[in-house]
Structure 1
Amino acid sequence: MTQIPARISDWFAAKGWSIHPHQQDMFDQAQEPATLLIAPTGGGKTMAGFLPSLSELADGAHDGLHTIYVSPLKALAADIRRNLRAPVEEIGLPIRIEDRTGDTSATQKKRQRVDPPHILLTTPESLALLTSYEDAPRMFAGVQRIIVDEIHALAESKRGDQLMLALAQLQALCPDLRRVGLSATVEDPEGIAQFLARHPDPCRIIQADPGPDPDIAMLETKEMPPWSGGGAAYAIPAVLEQVRQHRTTLIFHNTRAQAEIFFHNLWLANDESLPIGIHHGSLDRQQRERVEAAMVCGDLRAIVCTGSLDLGIDWGDVDLVIQIGAPKNVKRLVQRIGRANHRYNAPSKALLVPANRFEVVECVAALQAVQEHDLDGDPRGAGPRDVLCQHILIAAAAGPFEADVLYTALTSAGPYADLHRSEFHACLDFCATGGYALRAYDRWQRLQQRSDGRWQLRDPRAAQRIRMNLGTIQDTDTLKVRLKRNRGGKPLGEVEEGFAASLTPGDTFLIGGQIVRYEGLREMVVEVSRRADKKPKIATFSGTKFATSTQLSDRILRMFAQSDWAHLPAHTADWLALQRDVSRLPQRDRLLIESFPDNGREHICVYGFAGRNAQQTLGLLLTKRMEETGLAPLGFVATDYATLIWGLDAVTDPRPLFQIDALREGLETWLAGNAVMKRTFRASATIAGLIERNTGGQRKSGRQATFSSDILYDTLLKYDPDHLLMQITREEAMRGLVDFGRIEAMVGRINGRIDLLRLDRVSPLAAPLFLEMGKVPVKGEAEERLLAEESARLLQAAGIQSP
């Protein structure tokens, strides 16, 4: 056991604390090339990560940057700075700590490159930006450690891939750099360890005592959940009662729109005027900071929030977490639960509130998964190539490079360990020329090879443009919202550009918990006035709908197979029993399809349990296949568990509809000219550097960027369909927006075992789908037949014989 310096151990003793075993383990393993710590929320993970750095810096001998801390959130970096400065100042350590994020002033950023602090707290984007400067070798010369906090969150996104490429560059500058990963929710420790470590170096995994199980249950309400919807308005009185009974309650939602609507309804019911705030990523930064400050001080009894408060910020005395709506993902639920009783060996208390009847089943499945410590997560795929292209440009901005040296560095990053040299050279060629179809255009001739074989920027001025467009976060295009004043009033936040385009003067909507009236658009700013006396007509955001994870879907199907549902509320158990009596409950290894008439139309309900995105895609592909086989679909609607299709003809044999090759071919055809592909292309082209959103201090509007990306997409589709970016776009669309992999997995799992049940009416399980929003009409033969029938009816009514 390595001895912790007396100054630090004495400080622990003065606080009445003792070193946790996992903190001592981290100190003992401080010289390991890579270490992953998995410890529960409140277990002192951050201190465990920093203890070796504080010890090594205690004597004041180190000059310059020693430790880099990377966080997914700017707010988390600022929170760590506050919490880390306290022990440093109280112990009297000669350590300078600063953060560097998008909120840091340009003056401070410039000074940090010349005179870096001992500990720098930053984000993946800011770190990548620092590696793009010519003086990066000097700034990073003495770096000893890098700490990646909430590594599980970064590992699930392109931000994590970008970070690992930046670490590969740092490791080339600092061969002895030691890596530390911190997380409370890791479903695959070995996978995260491989992601973190320099390939093929091993990564030491330290797992702390997980502590007591959380105190988690379903919220009991007087009213039953509705059959559909996601707002959970029925539970407002019960939620408000819980707020009264606790000091501080976090009320999580899955989308910003739902958070806004729930906050509005909660405030209307708040007769006691309890202090309640709202926090999400589209609110104005000053408003978010005011809410955060009030939370730290304990001035708020409840905060309605979204994923903006998922991660490890210590927001004061939170003693209850409420999750509104099914969590869709067990790992996300565990992360949110950990916000309550943010202390080691203190059980977190949480309540789940299903938004509708089916979500009751999903919430029970999630509760069981938490109790069994069964986290969900999909295997990581290969590192995306659009991020790789951006990194090649970042490397060029830092100075000339040798292709072989860069390739060796890139393949030391976990996500790119299996990158083939031909794939790397294809990305390099794209960065240099734009690819075959774009070689003739000077604007995409960005790199050139020197006589010594090294690559460099063709125009040195391009470095600044590369830095201005760096990053992988593809925010929905947003416009600022301000109160209308002569010179611009108080900022309230942001709304999506598409939503703003749908507004007409007089429309009202919610933002920041208040109702505002749309007055007009001026200089790309949405001007509004307060209008508290009018009910809002429309929600602020369409919001991202999470898809239920594969593991959670499997749990629900296993629950259906049980003979006893005593663990379910009576109303839900009775509903499922009725389904079993009149039809059948879905099974994991068979595909249940119900066929029934309703309101003069034929319906089929396909219970795929593949998640919302996949079920939506399945609706598109099945209706296309139905058209091709002579059936006449009219439309469909999808949820996480089923797709309901209606039309003019009954389906008698569904098996030809589910031939995987035909589905895949249909997907390719549908994607080629679809807005999904264009939207995906735009995101990948922006990340890869083909499209610049920021030019000379000006940011293109979403419409401008869409226009230019659509032209590029149509050009490549016509003249170079196998262009690197078209390949990347197809991969991204298949993996993300359409989730075709889960359709393939479902078809493989059922292996032709399809049960078509013909019913005389809608089944209990299918009934809620009739109430779902988001119905998609199908244009085709069915519409033409209806028009022909209506024309014949009108002619007959008029006494005219049809020809």
Structure 2
Amino acid sequence: MNDQGPDNASPAQMILPQMFTDWFASRGWTIHPHQREMLDRKDAPALLLIAPTGGGKTLAGFLPTLVELADGEHTGLHTLYVSPLKALAADIKRNLRMPVDEMNLPIRIEDRTGDTSYTQKRRQRADPPHILLTTPESLALLTSYEDAPRIFKGVQRIIVDEIHALADSKRGDQLMLALSRLQTIAPDLRRVGLSATVENPQAIARELACHPDPCPILQADPGPAPDIQMLVTDEHPPWTGGGAKYAIPAVLEQVKRHKTTLIFHNTRAQAEIFFHNLWLANDDALPIGIHHGSLDRSQREKVEAAMVAGELKAIVCTGSLDLGIDWGDVDLVIQVGAPKNVKRLVQRIGRANHRYNAPSKALLVPANRFEVVECVAALEAVRAYDLDGEPKGPGPRDVLCQHILITACAGPFDVDALYQEVITVGAFAQLSRANFDACFDFCATGGYALRAYDKWKRLLQRPDGQWQLRDPRAAQRIRMNIGTIQDTETLKVKLKGNFKALGEVEEAFAATLTPGDTFLIGGQIVRYDSLKELTVQVTRDASKTPKIATFMGTKFATSTQLQARILRMFQQESWPQLPDHTADWLQLQRDISKLPEADRVLVESMYFDKRHYTCVYSFAGRNAQQTLGLLLTQRMEELGLHPMGFVATDYATLFWGLDPVTDPTTLFDVTAINDGFETWLAGNAVMKKTFRGAATIAMLIERNLPQARKSGRQATFSSDILYDTLSKYDPDHLMLQITREEALRGLVDFGRISEMMTRTAGRIDHVTLDRVSPLAAPMLLERGKVTVAGKAAERLLEDAAALLMENAGLSQLPQ
């Protein structure tokens, strides 16, 4: 066990009560060393425990609480438990009841999430349980009530589970601001963080502590290395695509051999496609379910109950099952598609054999030929326990604005004291008073351009110097809009006639539908009938090939660390760790052109099918490559090269047009790219979309109103008007500053473009070819490049692929 941090003194051992010793013995268990250590350090102001999945870290976090409450003398709230998922809180409640009931401990345990009834929430405020299990949003809401000091005055401990999943998000920033509020109400509050996958323990430990020094870190025995490898299939991965349909026979064979298999996907749409194809091939009628965030809650709960009962052989899922929920007897995890992020892969692997000192078993299924390389790089990173993670930036100011308004809901407050409270939070530790005051002024007046509107004059100063809400009725509206999770413009999907809810699809997708169109949801093919009262009405229809619902989900970009591994792999003389078909592909690329290098940009110029192609390999991630495509297309226009389009992947951007690029250094002029970016960003819809998100979090725009919820179109319309107004009359407005910051590090990933340009420092390898290169060939087959329809679609795609592969010299390689 590794103990790090400012306090390295060996704590005095606490005697475990006999009833607990007997309970462990009755189950054939012995207390793990890290559980013993957590108990001995129960009085530490903050403590981070890193323990493997199945290592009993949740019990380790709760054990001091159970011991302290065993005598029945404590009244009111003692321990808060915060998790990223409502389902995880419910799962913990179920598991925690076991020791409490079996030892007959006088402890009340309740959960409080968005699914908790209004009646139960009111009762919890009046008479809090000993242990309350909740989410960051529900905790923030609790701190907004006038009686928050009474509710939290006796709280002793807060446990933040899966802290790694919150640390890099605005939800985590909001949680830490809420903790600063609680620490003021209950100065002796002790903080505990739990995780199985932390790439930078010191950074998390600093965030968890309420002072600059990191808190102590306890690292449990990591246990045996996971049993993880690539799935062997009879058919080789295709050159392009993301469905992994080729692997379904091999996946079904694995499902038959195991008790319960989780089949993870990176997006909801991919999960739907794979589930549909898996079901069509399921000749043995194996019980298989699907689980993702766009499905109706009742459907998700039905699948979860079947998992716990051991009634399902496999569950096709997304990140909705990523975290530490103990779902039945899962003994295999399959990751379909490159994982994009090593930390996420480790977390998913941990769902299998959820027991201490039992190796997790996982298989990777690359969706296409390039993903074979990425999957091997990810396997090597997992075996080296080389986790990835981006450096955390300063605390987001839109979240701070929301926190100021939440604080005002709870009653009068001193602005100087609030600033001192906020800078105890790690992400806001360097927040200047001027930047804090700018956020405060925005909350009080709306800012210069909006001062004339009473709607945004929300705070006033009392004669005693404290601040309060100008209109107490505003508290209801603020509470209705608490949270940092951005809603997508989704519409409910219901079966016509019985109005059974199936789930949700994006509003933009629904707008493309005409009566008779079919799409997939929840593994079913449904036919669109009509749109009534913001509900998509459908009927079941299994007679057509469906359209695919464009679920929002998260479109992951490959992490910088994983990209670096791939680039290092390219520099090997040979690739014994790769399958022959992929190793031969890379060797052919090396023979015909070059393989990309980490400190250089590779640019290939090619001529094919009466078009000039330029492929730029810069390994900056999908979002950044997309942005680079927009910027370089603009440069090509300026240089008179007549570009016609581009397609971007995680590793490259392929352009096509009427004229060749003969000197790529002119494309990569730093000043021209930066100027072009500024011009493009100023007039782009990305800014308005980013503004809408930041303005919603900062509560300039309200999505939820006492009367009714705004539709996506209404919210977009009002945010667009505000954006245009501020841009014209107050271009330095706080919300526009925040919007720019968010756009740069979010949707467009310009920071990764800047990093790439710094890393390569103008070093460009330009290769002119008389054919399409092996690495570029699959990009011409990317979805959207070849448009086909009808029954001949697959044949046309096969013919297009064959022509490209032959041109690239790939037709001789194993297909």
Q: TM-score range by the shorter chain?
A: over 0.9
Residue equivalent to 1:691 = 701
1:672 maps to amino acid: A
1:171 maps to amino acid: Q
Structure 1: how far apart are the matches of 2:211 and 2:477?
Answer: 31
Structure 2: how far apart are the matches of 1:115 and 1:415?
Answer: 34
Residue equivalent to 1:644 = 654
- How far the C-alpha of 1:631 sits from its partner, in A, is 2.4
Residue equivalent to 1:786 = none
- How far the C-alpha of 1:414 sits from its partner, in A, is 1.4
Residue equivalent to 1:583 = 593
Structure 1 residues not aligned, in runs of 5+: 778-803
Most deviating of 667-676 and 650-659: 650-659
Residue equivalent to 1:781 = none
1:164 maps to amino acid: M
Residue equivalent to 1:53 = 65
> For 1:394, which of 402, 406, 425 is the aligned residue?
406
Residue equivalent to 1:72 = 84
Structure 1: how far apart are the matches of 2:726 and 2:781?
Answer: 41
Residue equivalent to 1:372 = 384
CA offsets, 1:165-206, max 9 Å, x none? 000000000001000000000000001111111123541100
Structure 2: how far apart are the matches of 1:195 and 1:776?
Answer: 48
Within 5 Å, which residues of 2 pair with 1:547-562? 547-562=557-572
Structure 2: how far apart are the matches of 1:388 and 1:667?
Answer: 28
> For 1:544, which of 554, 557, 561 is the aligned residue?
554
CA offsets, 1:760-792, max 9 Å, x none? 111000101101124599xxxxxxxxxxxxxxx
Residue equivalent to 2:229 = 217
Q: Does 1:108 align with 2:120?
A: yes
Most deviating of 764-773 and 445-454: 445-454
Structure 2: how far apart are the matches of 1:286 and 1:433?
Answer: 43
SS state at 1:695 partner: coil
Within 5 Å, which residues of 2 pair with 1:568-717? 568-717=578-727
SS state at 2:566 partner: helix
Contact 1:274 1:301 in 2 (8 A): yes
Q: Does 1:517 align with 2:527?
A: yes
1:471 maps to amino acid: G
Q: Does 1:128 align with 2:115?
A: no
SS state at 1:68 partner: strand
SS state at 1:3 partner: coil
Residue equivalent to 2:188 = 176
Most deviating of 542-551 and 724-733: 542-551
- How far the C-alpha of 1:453 sits from its partner, in A, is 1.7
Sort the Cα spacing of 1:496 and 1:103 in 2 relative to 1 into closer, same or farther, 3 A.
same
- How far the C-alpha of 1:498 sits from its partner, in A, is 0.9
- How far the C-alpha of 1:659 sits from its partner, in A, is 2.8
Contact 1:510 1:540 in 2 (8 A): no
> For 1:493, which of 467, 491, 503 is the aligned residue?
503
SS state at 2:193 partner: strand
- How far the C-alpha of 1:635 sits from its partner, in A, is 0.9
Structure 2: how far apart are the matches of 1:33 and 1:697?
Answer: 44
- How far the C-alpha of 1:539 sits from its partner, in A, is 3.3
Structure 1: how far apart are the matches of 2:611 and 2:731?
Answer: 41
Q: TM-score, normalised by structure 1?
A: 0.95
Q: Does 1:142 align with 2:147?
A: no
> For 1:190, which of 189, 202, 206 is the aligned residue?
202
Residue equivalent to 2:745 = 735
1:392 maps to amino acid: I
Contact 1:660 1:744 in 2 (8 A): no
Root-mean-square deviation over aligned CA pairs: 1.2
Residue equivalent to 1:63 = 75
Sort the Cα spacing of 1:90 and 1:763 in 2 relative to 1 into closer, same or farther, 3 A.
same
| Percent identical residues | 77
SS state at 1:319 partner: strand
- How far the C-alpha of 1:601 sits from its partner, in A, is 1.7
Structure 1: how far apart are the matches of 2:427 and 2:587?
Answer: 47
1:754 maps to amino acid: I
Contact 2:377 2:565 in 1 (8 A): yes
SS state at 2:100 partner: helix
Residue equivalent to 1:261 = 273
> For 1:302, which of 314, 337, 340 is the aligned residue?
314
Residue equivalent to 2:775 = 765
1:18 maps to amino acid: T
Residue equivalent to 2:37 = 25
Structure 2: how far apart are the matches of 1:426 and 1:228?
Answer: 49
Residue equivalent to 1:363 = 375
Within 5 Å, which residues of 2 pair with 1:343-358? 343-358=355-370
Structure 2: how far apart are the matches of 1:200 and 1:329?
Answer: 29
Residue equivalent to 1:91 = 103
Q: Does 1:287 align with 2:303?
A: no
Contact 1:509 1:540 in 2 (8 A): no
Most deviating of 168-177 and 649-658: 649-658
Within 5 Å, which residues of 2 pair with 1:384-463? 384-463=396-475
- How far the C-alpha of 1:480 sits from its partner, in A, is 0.8
1:613 maps to amino acid: N
SS state at 1:363 partner: helix
Most deviating of 162-171 and 194-203: 194-203
Contact 1:444 1:690 in 2 (8 A): yes
Residue equivalent to 2:798 = none
Most deviating of 626-635 and 442-451: 626-635
CA offsets, 1:39-66, max 9 Å, x none? 0000001000001000111111111000
- How far the C-alpha of 1:122 sits from its partner, in A, is 0.2
Structure 1: how far apart are the matches of 2:348 and 2:35?
Answer: 23
Contact 1:261 1:539 in 2 (8 A): no
Residue equivalent to 1:788 = none
Contact 2:286 2:313 in 1 (8 A): yes
Q: Does 1:503 align with 2:499?
A: no
Q: Does 1:723 align with 2:733?
A: yes
Contact 2:294 2:551 in 1 (8 A): no
Q: Does 1:325 align with 2:340?
A: no
Contact 2:488 2:552 in 1 (8 A): no
CA offsets, 1:693-738, max 9 Å, x none? 1111410000000000000111111111111000100000100111
Structure 2: how far apart are the matches of 1:110 and 1:670?
Answer: 50
Residue equivalent to 1:783 = none
> For 2:495, which of 478, 483, 499 is the aligned residue?
483
Structure 1: how far apart are the matches of 2:334 and 2:533?
Answer: 40
- How far the C-alpha of 1:543 sits from its partner, in A, is 4.3
Structure 2: how far apart are the matches of 1:396 and 1:765?
Answer: 57
Number of residue-to-residue matches in the alignment? 775
Structure 2: how far apart are the matches of 1:163 and 1:774?
Answer: 41
- How far the C-alpha of 1:751 sits from its partner, in A, is 1.1
Structure 2: how far apart are the matches of 1:314 and 1:475?
Answer: 28
Structure 1: how far apart are the matches of 2:683 and 2:278?
Answer: 44
Residue equivalent to 1:82 = 94
Sort the Cα spacing of 1:681 and 1:530 in 2 relative to 1 into closer, same or farther, 3 A.
same
CA offsets, 1:579-610, max 9 Å, x none? 00000000001111111112222111000011
Q: Does 1:35 align with 2:47?
A: yes
Structure 1: how far apart are the matches of 2:456 and 2:272?
Answer: 43
Q: TM-score, normalised by structure 2?
A: 0.94
Structure 1: how far apart are the matches of 2:547 and 2:483?
Answer: 36
CA offsets, 1:551-598, max 9 Å, x none? 000000000000121110000000000000000000001111111112
